[in-house]
Amino acid sequence: MTDLTATASRTARWLDDPVESGPAAGFGVYLHVPFCHHRCGYCDFATDAVGGRDDTEMLFHRYVEALRRDLARQVAAGRRSHGPAARRDHLDDAWPTVTSIFVGGGTPTMLPPDLLAGVVASVGAELDVAPTAEITVECNPETASEELFGALAAAGVTRISMGAQSFTPSVLTTLERGHTAQRPVEAVRQARAAGIGEINLDLIFGTPGETDDDWRQTLRTVLAAGTDHVSAYALTIHDSTPFGRAIAHGSMPAPDDDVQADRFAIAREVLGGGGFEHYEVSNWALGSARRSRHNLLYWRHGDYLAVGVGAHGHLAGRRWWTTRSTARYLAAVEADTSPVAGSEDLALDQQAHERLLLGLRVREGLHPADVPPLEPMALEDAMEAGLITTACGRLQCTEDGWFLLDEAVSRLLV
């Protein structure tokens, strides 16, 4: 175990309030819906632009049936072979109770309400789902409706996560979004009226053309919208996207690191001032009960099944991922074969490093027992640089460390 107390006296500022230690991670199921009307220029998620195609009704039915079969096959394989489920001492040959379900995309809300409700129900048909499970569906503002929220609430959905990105019209245009600035606010109201208890809005900061004032106004609009969770991401440029190509050709300016750092600080200031707890690098919640339990599962290195195109799963140190091609996914599942494109078994030291990488993302940090052996000089160096702290007897990132997470981790893992 790394001796944190020896170095605790010289810790950096931050985190003088008690930090809630995480409960057991739980067990989750992620299901991916890889369809969007249009692919936003910045996005590299596994998704196909199907807006304008006239065969979507058939495609959607086929895909939802494939999700159901894929999940059933994984669950049966685990039971039959004592396979992935048996890798953990305490799991025996039974699958654990599901504590969170996340239907993400893409744009799950392109599916008709009854089909999307069926995707949620397919998990309960195969696995034991806790009555208190968090069940999240990712919604796009332009395809969500009162009818859809009603169907999701009736299907047991407890939480929606919606991509608002910005409330500045010119920024939405740059981001190629298909909704007005007002639409997410209206959708939040509709979701609440339908009985959805928890609502997240996704935001992106640092889009070319956005000003500090635009960003402040966006954050204030979120505070007034009545959500209980905010995910705010720095615009990330992926080379293979239209934004990546435009920047490479010089027709779009690259996001500026200093501007991004300032916007991150503004987010902390405005959301913190609105009562939101900054509990993960990019995530804020109105109190600890509103944190995303499914995402906490990822950061706590928990176990989750992956269902659908481009989905990633993890069970007891084994990671796997599914093909990013919808055509190949459908062909594999319909032929009763596996759509898995790759997997890796992490050695114990790799698991420990991964736990460190993920654990430092979260405010709660890591218990000393979960910290892999670190060079004492490396720990001191990271603490002296103000990136890491042990003030609460746990290994945590400081706020500077959060913005420079890669640097903080590389200093620790010399």
The site for ligand SF4 (CB under 6 A) is made up of 36, 39-40, 43, 45, 47, 105-107, 140, 163
**Min dist. Cβ of residue 404 to ligand SAM (A):** 18
Smallest separation, CB 370 to ligand SAM (Å): 28
Phi, psi of 130 (to 5 degrees): -60, 140
Considering the complex, what minimum distance in angstroms separates the CB of residue 236 from ligand SAM?
Answer: 4
Question: Applying CB under 6 A, which part among 67-75, 104-112, 188-196, 323-331 lies near ligand SAM?
Answer: 104-112
Name the minimum Å distance from CB 114 to ligand SF4. 22
Q: Does 34 help bind ligand SAM (rule: CB under 6 A)?
A: no
Residue 166 to residue 214: CA distance in whole angstroms = 8
Q: Which does 339 bind (CB under 5 to 8 A by kind): ligand SF4, ligand SAM, none?
A: none
By CB under 6 A, tell whether 42 contacts ligand SAM. Answer: yes
Strands 27-33 and 303-307, sheet pairing: parallel
Interacting partner of 322 out of ligand SAM, ligand SF4, none (Cβ under 5 to 8 A depending on kind):
none
C-alpha neighbours within 13 Å on the C-beta side of residue 33: 31
Give me the amino acid identity at 326.
T
- Residues 26, 104, 150, 255: which binds ligand SAM (CB under 6 A)? 104
CB of 301 to ligand SAM, least distance (A): 21
Residue (of 303, 361, 325, 317) closest to 34 by Cα position: 325
39 makes contact, choosing from ligand SAM, ligand SF4, none, with CB < 5 to 8 Å by partner type, with ligand SF4
Closest distance of CB 395 from ligand SAM, Å: 27
β-partners of residue 199 are 160
CA atoms within 13 A on the CB side of 42: 21
When asked if residue 163 is in the footprint of ligand SAM (CB under 6 A), the reply is yes
Contact stretch for ligand SAM (CB under 6 A) within 231-239, 251-259, 302-310, 350-358: 231-239
Contacts 24+ apart (CB under 8 A), 261-264: 261/403, 262/212, 263/205, 263/206, 263/210, 263/212, 263/215, 263/234, 264/205, 264/232, 264/234, 264/403
SS3 168: coil
3-state SS assignment for residue 176: coil
Is-contact 144 137, C-beta < 8 A?
A: no
Q: Which is nearer to ligand SAM, 236 or 338 (CB)?
A: 236
Q: Which is nearer to ligand SF4, 139 or 332 (CB)?
A: 139
- Asked whether the beta carbons of 326 and 304 are under 8 A apart, the reply is no
Answer yes or no whether residue 107 interacts with ligand SAM by CB under 6 A: yes
Residues that bind ligand SAM (CB under 6 A): 42-43, 45, 104-105, 107, 138, 140, 163, 165, 202, 204, 233, 235-236
